Structures are given as C-alpha cells and as structure tokens.
Chains A and B, each alone.
Chain A
Amino acid sequence: MAESLTVSGVPVENTFAEAFGMRATRIVITADSLRWARAAAVAATGFATSVIACGCEAGIEQELDTSQTPDGRPGVSILIFGMSAKDLQKQVERRVGQCILTCPTTAAFGGIARDAAKEWLAMGGALRYFGDGYQISKLVGGKRYWRLPVMDGEFLCEERTATMKAIGGGNFLILARDRASAVAATERAVEAMTPLWNVILPFPGGVVRSGSKVGSRYRALIASTNDAYCPTLVGLVKTALPAGVNAVLEIVIDGLDVPSIALAMREGIRAACEGGEDAGVFGITAGNYGGKLGPHHFRLHEVLA
C-alpha cells in the first residue's frame, strides 16, 4: 500500500472508516404517481439520521419506474437500518403505519429477496387491525397481502418484509478551505452516490456537519462534538486540521453489504475531489474509534484502489 495517495491531487489520509453491523429492510412504496410515492418515502424516512436518537437510520434508496415495481406503478424504495430485528419491527410498524398507510394511493411491498432474508418483520401483518375486522388477506404469487379499507379505496400492504445483515457507519470527511468549498464538494459527492443501490445517506441532504467523538465532559452525554475537527477551536484544542482547512463535512453511508458501501465511498470521494485543491478541497479522511468498536474497516486507500 502506498504511503501517500491523492485523488485529483487531493491527499487522502491512510486511515479507515469504522463501521458496525446492523439489520436493514427494504420497503418498496408504490403509488398512482411518483409524486405520492415520493411523498410517502420522504415522510417514512424522515427523522432517521442516527439510530441512537431516532430509533433507526433510513433513507430513500432509489426511485423506481413501472417496470421495477411489483404492481406496475411508479415507486420508491427505501432502506431502514436498525440495531436489531426487534428495533426494526417497531420502526417499520410506526413508519409504514403513519407515513405510507396515510398517504394517498400508496401501497407497500417488502423489498428483500427471500434468500437474503434473516428475520421477517410484520408489516401488513401488524397494521391489519386498523381495518377493524374489514381487512382482507390475499395470497398472490406465494406472498400474503393485506387489504385495508381506507378513504380512497384500499391500502395494499405486504404482510411482512424481511431483514438482512447490513452495515452502518461507512463514512468519509472532506477537509476544505472554507464552508462554501466544503458544501460544494459534498453536493458533488451526494449526486454521484444517488444512483447507487443498496446504500443510503441518512443525514440531511446526505451530509453531516456535527462530527462527534465518544464521551463528553458532561456525564449524561455519551458523545459530543469532535473538537479536533472544529475550525473554531483551532488554537484551543489539539486540532486534527491541517493548516488552511477551515471547514469539514462528513458523509455517512449505511449499506446492505461491504462492496456497496465501498463503491459508494469511492464514487463519493472521487466526486468530492473533482477540481482538486483549486476547488478548495484539501484532504479526505475518515472517522473511526481506533478500530476497537466496529468490525468493518473501510480503509480509504483500499476503497480507492
């Protein structure tokens, strides 16, 4: 492995992103038009940036055309990540119940292939009681669906959705000259990662500015701001910022498998570095906890190799 690596002239630190095992499920939301599928997907994946405070991490994976959905309507696939199947069950029930069931014309389907399934989560099977006895179960092509009478007709919801093993916490940090360059770099990165399957970027717009470290001077908090990367603390704390870096942004990636996350990191880093130092991007690094906490280590140099 080379000691130093640059992408478009931007130095990439020889470090790794430390990621964790999670459970994930994919739900395919369809609707009469993409507008409503998207509306349900946005709501269902809202407030899902970090598993600790939100209960899950979720995001839109892909928009689907009529040939890609089970019912031939336009749709959106979303991924939801949790620490366990049990946690996910709670989240799926709430999010499908409050954000898809409620949204006009939509239907919800499980989106994990049967052979990848680890555990099964009740989806329609949990929501069916909303039908107050008028729900109808229907077996089509070996899958069970529930039909709940609602005010625009019926909400069709597959009985269950599968979980599979997944990974949360793939990441990289963009060290930039200033805030404007940092934001521009993340926007390029997010755009490059959007077409990719099997991954989501759970933070707002795919980007997080509040990088954190473990622990806090306040006992009640288990994490706090990553002071080493805060430009306003340069001179006060032991900083990690090279000279000239005045803004840092992070992109966090949750994915269904290692290659999908690695691919997303590569595409994201390459897009972020486009234009090189002239675009104000001075370095790429990644967040980790010394390698002791997470089983998955995405070494930046390997990812980019």
Chain B
Amino acid sequence: MSGLRLSLRARPPARVDGSALLPEKLQGQTLDAIRRIALPGWNEFHEVGELFEVSGEATDRLQIDQLDGSFDRLGALATAGTLVLRGQAGDLVGEGLRGASIEIEGAAGDYLGCGMRRGRIEVRGNAGHFAGSGRAGELQGMSGGTLLVRGDVGDRAADRMRRGLLLVEGDAGDYLASRMLAGTVVLLGRAAGNAGYLMRRGTVVLDQRPAQMLPTFNANGRQDLLAIQLLLRSLGGEGPRFSRLAARAGGFERWLGDLAASGQGELLVSF
C-alpha cells in the first residue's frame, strides 16, 4: 500500500486536535519532519512521533490506524488527497471539507462532515450526532459534497443543511434534517422522531416510514417525480442498497413541510 501511514501507539491523555494531519500538508515531507509536528491537545502539545508509529512515504494518501476516538477534526478543511481513518474517528472529522476524500473504516464521532463544502466522506460504521450539520452559530450546515454513512447516524443529522448529499444506509436519530435549508438526504433505515423539523426546503427520501410524522407536514399524495428518479439513478454507484431504491417503481408518498417554517421541503416516503 502506498502513501503515509500513522499508527496510534499511545492513547493521548486528553483530546487532541488532529487537523494538521492532512495529506496535502504532509505530502513530500520526511518522516522525521512529520514526527516532529506538534498537535495541540487540551493544555499541551503532542508530537506526532510520540503518539504514532510513522511509516511509508508522504504522498497524497494518508492512512491513520488504530484510532481510539481521541483525535478531533481529522481531515478538517482538506482540499485534496485521500485520508483513510481506521478505528474510531473522533468528532468533527472532515469539518469544512473542501475537496478531499475521507474514508473511515470504522465509526465517526459527532459533527462528521459538518460545514463540508465539497469532497466526499464515507463511513463504514456509525456516525454520531450532527452529521452533515453546522457547528454552533453557523447559519448553515453542510453545503456541498457527498457524505455517506453505511451505519446509523445520531440526532440532528443534516441540521441546517444547505446543499449536497447525505446518504445513510442505517437508521437516523431524532430531528433528521431539522432546519434544513436545501440539499438532499436519503435514508434507507428508519428515522426517529421529528424528521424534517422546521425544514424550509430540501429533499428527504425515507425508504421506511418514519417513527412519527410531524403534524406540520401536509400529505401531498403519491407522486412519481422525474427529479427524484434522476436523483436515485445517480446513486447507483453507492452500493446495491441504493440501486435497489432507484429501481423501485411507483414513486413515493410525498409530504410537504415544515409548514411551521416556509413549508417548501419534501419528505418522500416509500410505501
């Protein structure tokens, strides 16, 4: 396998900001220089060499192994290259992503891909709360790119989402797509309570009837819309479960809301 490889060997005493570990920043550096990079911790800095076994060659591909959830902001603001994370990735992975590809062969913490603008994040396991949302104070969440979670997502996924694609194979917690501004969410599992709460615009495709439908959504009847077909066809490459969804005929039960906001969003529920 080509590229640079960091393998965690000692659990840091507290959370560490891993945002400096970007393929684009490390590319071309010597292993020794990389070992000397200081990562800010809670109240102290840790050198990469103290925390990780460093091997390989710094190309546009970086793999970090044995992650234990204590590194936050891995891949934040990345613009290019591939970052492979194995184990438990911490919070804020891919925050504000601008173009790179992040593959998580494990699970992700909270705020996965929050504020991402471009690029792609794929998680094999589960993601925490606020996946594809924005951090506190931000007027919008994710605004582009593709965020694919093969497992479940926690609460508030796609909160204030502005643009882009959130694909979830598993279930979603409460308040899926709350305050959504636009963009697309496709959920193959089941959404817990309050899906679409205060969404203004945007599309949420639910392959299963949600646990609860907000009273501020109005039924729009069964609709077979070309735009949704086109959308689902475009997901064919994301795995067999998505192609199955694209192949199903007959359209969706469509709900419009949230009428407590501007009511221009749509929930499309398989029937």
Contact = CB atoms under 8 A, between A and B. Distances in A.
Chain A directly contacts chain B within the complex, with at least one CB pair under 8 Å: yes
The size class of the interface chain A forms with chain B is 10 to 19
A23 interface: no
B264 interface: yes
B233 A71 contact: yes
B270 to A, nearest CB: 19
B264 A147 contact: no
B234 A141 contact: yes
Given A138-B184, A141-B234, A156 B201 contact: no
Query: Dominant SS at the A interface?
Result: strand
A154 B225 CA distance: 7
B182 interface: yes
A136 B182 CA distance: 9
Given A138-B184, A140-B234, A156 B264 contact: no
A70 B227 contact: no
Query: Dominant SS at the B interface?
Result: mixed
Contact of A107 (B163, B183, B226): B226
B230 A156 contact: yes
B267 to A, nearest CB: 13
Given A134-B264, A136-B264, A139-B163, A147 B227 contact: yes
A154 B234 contact: no
A153 interface: yes
B226 A154 contact: yes
Contacts of B203: 136, 138
Contact of B229 (A71, A134, A141): A71
Interface in A136-178: 136-141, 145, 147, 153-154, 156
B261 interface: no
Given A137-B182, A139-B163, A71 B225 contact: no
18 contacts: A71-B226, A71-B229, A71-B230, A71-B233, A134-B264, A136-B266, A138-B184, A138-B203, A139-B163, A139-B184, A140-B227, A140-B234, A145-B230, A147-B225, A147-B227, A153-B223, A153-B224, A156-B230
Interface of A: 70-72, 107, 134, 136-141, 145, 147, 153-154, 156
